[in-house]
Chains A and B, each alone.
Chain A
Amino acid sequence: MKRKLLIDKAGVPGIASYEVYRREGGYRSVEKALKSMSPDDVVEEVKKSGLRGRGGAGFPTGMKWSFLAKPEGVPRYLLCNADESEPGTFKDRYLMEHIPHLLIEGMIVSSYALGANTSYIYIRGEYMWILHILERAIAEAYQAGWLGKNIMGSGYNLDLHVTPGAGAYICGEETALIESLEGKRGNPRIKPPFPAVKGLWGCPTVVNNVETIAAVVPIVNDGGDEYAKIGIGRSTGTKLISACGNIQKPGVYEIELGLSVEEFLYSDEYCGGMKNGKQLKACVPGGSSVPILPHFLVTKTAQGESRLMSYESLADGGFQTGSMLGSGGFIVYDEDQCIVRNTWNFTRFYHHESCGQCSPCREGTGWMEKVLHRLEYGHGKQEDIDLLWDIQAKIEGNTICPLGDAAAWPVASAIRHFREEFEWHVNESKLSQQRNYGRVSEKTFVNATA
């Protein structure tokens, strides 16, 4: 049986309203937690569940929560990261648009676990209409007594607010998000101190992704052990995947972790296979930042094992032959797509979104964009490919925040797997302006890496 814990009821008419959401069993987790569990009990269930951060990093949520400092007399904050800006990712939007009370319920029960009395949802500014949906839902939750003072007579108080960004990818990085929430430019902070010690206004703070917070609801309802039964190995539970690109059925799907990539990509229940009878050329399985995989490494690992939709299996082979689950932004490319053009496009994105604090990222993303533009438009030289490799290697690991790595990985993986196509752009520069290269053969790949 395929279980859906988050968006199963997204299609119920009127589920965005409090009345219907409550009738469908909503807010049970808050009742349960506030009546029969201590905050530490909730943290314990989350630890048992094995839930890992759904924003992209995959860090164990229970562990993140247990790092939260608890000095006497200092407020603690829970911030929800709804900045969803990773190209290919549109899952949180789906959840918030269709079933906003699930996020609010998750915020209440998670805030209770952390001892936060004021919590904020930071949502990207472009999702302003969803901000209004959330504001309405929050007002309903106050009205029904799930927010405010002495919730359900428990003595626990919580205020919840939603606040917008204004168009900056970098604010999805948790310390940049905190800066932005303080009304400043989104420049990431140097860590340590980590937000768990010094976060919003210098107070201990936890930042969690929308989907992570929503997942706390079924974990509290059914228990962490039950949740951990779903999935495979250290990839427990369900995951929202937003699928896009050259597939039959783009959209948001909730999968049990451990589903095979083959089934996800080709079955009618999910992506429905390639569009227009084309062949798969490549796939970026976890948002634009994760390494791109050539077609022969998408459904199978380098060892020939079936590739699964899990943190471990997608990363199998490291960056040599694997990728990452990331944010769940699953981008599929058919044989007509140009890898050089796509890499240039993504690099332009990172250049545009670099906050400018660290020279390797600020300058390096611009250089890479320039070199890739040259290659794509037929003016590239052979040494440009090595130059690109050199720049990305000098960005990776040399910046305050992971945006540098996120900019480097797509370039590194594109060169690693599609060097032949880059060289073709140099050697056949005229032809490269007229048609695309097509698929790279597995044989060439093996020779190139041998």
Chain B
Amino acid sequence: MPDQHNHPESQLQFSDETLKLIATLTAQYPDGKQKSALLRVLHLAQLEFGWLSAPVMDYVARLLHIQPVEVYEVATFYSMYDTKPVGKVKLEVCRTGPCMIEGAEKIVSYIEQKLGIKDGETTADGRFTLKTVECLGACGYAPMMQVGEHYHEHLTEEKIDRFIADNA
């Protein structure tokens, strides 16, 4: 398992399962259009390597037979990609209008206080990162946060306590 914050190039390799999935994904596009799989492959890379360092992006470029800069420009455009190290557990709290009126700001302050970090920061042990994000399409179930592929909705301080205890 590569170190979470360092990606020595020699050790960079997707798992066999992921490589198989990537082969299926690239086959979904016409010949020569394999770059279309880039966004999905970057999601997979982030899942497997923790964040998108330059060596990771270069590796993805080699896999898809595109130039590294084509990967860099995409990785820096989309807000879901981390081009800097983040904690193992990333709490992404929605801050947009409908969540705000249901108390998102209080939820953010509560998490900041509880973890001793500010928006955008990671706890000293590298466990948790807090990030505020724009609308995630859960406006009727506000306030909410996303952690990995899971939506945590109707958030309360008690739910935050439980979540952090379960994931500490």
By a beta-carbon cutoff of 8 Å, the part of chain A in contact with chain B is 75, 84-90, 93, 118, 124-129, 132, 159, 161, 163-169, 180-186, 201, 242-246, 250-252, 288, 329, 331, 333, 337, 341-342, 345-346, 349, 352-353, 355
Contacts and interface: CB of A to CB of B under 8 A. Distances in A.
B66 to A, nearest CB: 8
A165 B39 contact: yes
Nearest to A352: B134
A180 B35 CA distance: 10
6 contacts: A90-B137, A164-B40, A168-B77, A183-B37, A341-B100, A342-B97
Interface of B: 28, 30, 33, 35-40, 42-43, 64, 66, 70, 73-74, 77-81, 95-98, 100-101, 133-142, 146, 149-151
B154 to A, nearest CB: 10
Nearest to A83: B137
B32 to A, nearest CB: 9
A159 B148 CA distance: 29
Given A86-B135, A87-B97, 12 more contacts: A87-B96, A124-B137, A125-B39, A125-B78, A164-B43, A165-B78, A167-B78, A182-B33, A183-B74, A244-B139, A345-B95, A346-B96
Nearest to B135: A87
A242 B134 contact: no
Contacts of A128: 43, 149
Contacts of B30: 75, 118, 201
Contact of B141 (A124, A132, A182, A250): A250
Nearest to A120: B28
A245 to B, nearest CB: 6
A159 B140 CA distance: 34
A167 B33 CA distance: 22
Query: What secondary structure prevails in chain A residues at the interface with B?
Result: mixed
Contacts of A243: 140
B140 A163 contact: no
A349 B134 contact: yes
A163 B139 contact: no
Contact of A250 (B80, B135, B139, B150): B139
Nearest to B146: A126
B33 A126 contact: no
Given A244-B140, A252-B140, A87 B98 contact: yes
Contacts of B140: 90, 242-244, 250-252
A201 B33 contact: yes
B98 A244 contact: yes
Contact of B98 (A88, A165, A186): A88
Contacts of A180: 39
A342 B97 CA distance: 6
A272 B100 CA distance: 21
Nearest to B148: A128
Contacts of B95: 345
Give the 4 A-B CB pairs with smallest separation, nearest first: A166-B78, A250-B140, A167-B80, A167-B79
Nearest to A84: B137
Contacts of B134: 87, 169, 349, 352-353
Question: Which of B64, B77, B133 lies at the interface centre, i.e. has the most chain A CB atoms within 10 A of its CB?
Answer: B77
Contacts of B38: 183
Given A125-B39, A163-B36, A245 B101 contact: yes
Given A163-B36, A164-B40, A252-B140, A245 B98 contact: yes
A126 B36 contact: no
A244 B138 CA distance: 9
Nearest to A182: B36
A127 B137 contact: yes
A88 B96 CA distance: 9
Contact of B101 (A129, A168, A184, A342): A342
Given A87-B96, A167-B80, A201-B33, A125 B43 contact: yes
A337 B100 CA distance: 10
B143 to A, nearest CB: 11
A126 B96 contact: no
A400 to B, nearest CB: 16
A167 to B, nearest CB: 4
B141 A183 contact: no
B49 to A, nearest CB: 16
Contacts of B28: 159, 161, 163
A252 B140 CA distance: 8
A89 B140 CA distance: 9
Contacts of B36: 163, 181-183
